[in-house]
Amino acid sequence: RAVRPQAIIRVFMWPLTQWNLALSNCTAVCKRYHLSAAKECTGYVGCGSENFIDPAFHGHHSVLKIRLPQVMDFITGSVFHTIKVSNLALPKGGFFPTRLGVQLTKPDDTAPQYLTSGGMIWKFPDEGFNEGRLVIQGRTGYGAKPFVDEVDNKLIVRLQLAATLWNWGSHASTISYLEILLPEGYTSCKVLEGGAPNRSNDAFTLDANHDGHLDNPFGILSVDGKDGNWSRSNVRSCMYDVAQYNRIYHGQVIYVEVTVDNPDTLLLKDDPRNVWHVRHAGKGAMSTWTAPGQMPLYRFIDNRDVPQLPGGRRLWTGNAAVVTELPVDLIQPAPTEDSMALSRFALMPTTTTTTTTMSTTRTEGN
């Protein structure tokens, strides 16, 4: 049927739970049919938002509501106008290509018709929203083997997904994946035995407000053949492929223990090269793509922002230092926690004399 003046259009913004159009001050204008100067579409175009999901569960407005102007030639199969909408509040998170749902009703909001869009939209996460960090562990905070050229050092990574990863049915293992990229100099990244960290770490036992609920829920990625795997991990990249018909949702927090081979040179925490990254890749609903679309690499949290996290520098870091063992004994007072990321003595046996002595190392500050 023809679309008449004052008809109502609702656009369902997918992913529904990411959008909050109530934060928008949207405006809309109608541009007349471009092939005929005799056609009109002028006057005020209503632009607002509605909540589609039960407010008891989700209070965000994820439906864009547009009322067409009073002065408008009917929209038909051969005449169509363009509605331009501006000033929409975009989600902070990201999403891969997705269609939109569209509903048309009469001016009295009756006789609804619904379809999905032919075109798609997609968005990269805002900078800082795609967060990764490392969990402090070991005597230095950087794993049991933090020294130059050591192999099989185990580090715990925490990630919060900024976009939903999903494999809509392809048998290809590379249709949707999550990648952790190590700094230059590392020569191996792998995930062994599923990568489940040790639950005894302080990060997984913290209940800072004593409410009986752990502050950091323990989430891991399944490596069952029907869920996904880390088998494509290599050199500096640990990569998880999502299996057929599976998805990992935006906002989920996961922990994984990665096993790395350290660089052969010193790598300080404040070295500009010492940056860990995370990246998402997928096709979303774009079944015609021959390869998944890659979102940009996002760096792990800046160490200057770590003190604002629950647990602060006692539990988290944005990267791992690679240190050298001191050949002689050194005992040095440790500054306060406020002035240093973490200060612990790592006592290591040394063979500089015929008897066993103890040398000490400590982690760097900011």
The dihedral through the CA atoms of 137, 219, 227, 127 has a sign that is negative
pLDDT at 363: 36
Q: At 37, list the tokens.
A: 């100067």
Q: Please choose, from the candidates 106, 119, 117, 121, the residue with its C-alpha nearest in 3D space to the C-alpha of residue 11.
A: 117
What is the 3-state composition of the chain as percent helix, strand, coil, each rounded to the nearest 5?
A: 5, 30, 65
Q: At 6, list the tokens.
A: 């004052």
Upper half-sphere CA count for residue 29 (Cβ side, 13 Å): 4
Distance CA(330)–CA(359), nearest Å, equals 6
pLDDT at 55: 80
Mean pLDDT of all residues belonging to the chain: 88
Tokens 């612990």 sit at which residue?
A: 344
In terms of C-beta density within 10 A (0-12 exposed, 13-18 middle, 19 or more buried), how is residue 333 classed?
exposed
pLDDT at 332: 62
pLDDT at 362: 36
- Main-chain phi, psi angles of 314, to 5 degrees: -70, -25
353-364 pLDDT, tens digit per residue, is 333 333 333 333
Q: At 47, list the tokens.
A: 């632009």
Measured CA distances, 65 to 85, 93, 119, 228, 363 (Å): 11, 22, 19, 39, 55
User: In the chain, where does DSSP find H-type helix?
Assistant: 312-315
pLDDT at 336: 52
Q: At 119, list the tokens.
A: 């075109």
Enumerate residue ranges in the chain where pLDDT < 70. 170-173, 327-366
pLDDT at 250: 93
Measured CA distances, 67 to 112, 143, 169 (Å): 14, 59, 38
pLDDT at 287: 85
DSSP state of 40: -
Measured CA distances, 45 to 5, 8, 73 (Å): 10, 10, 14
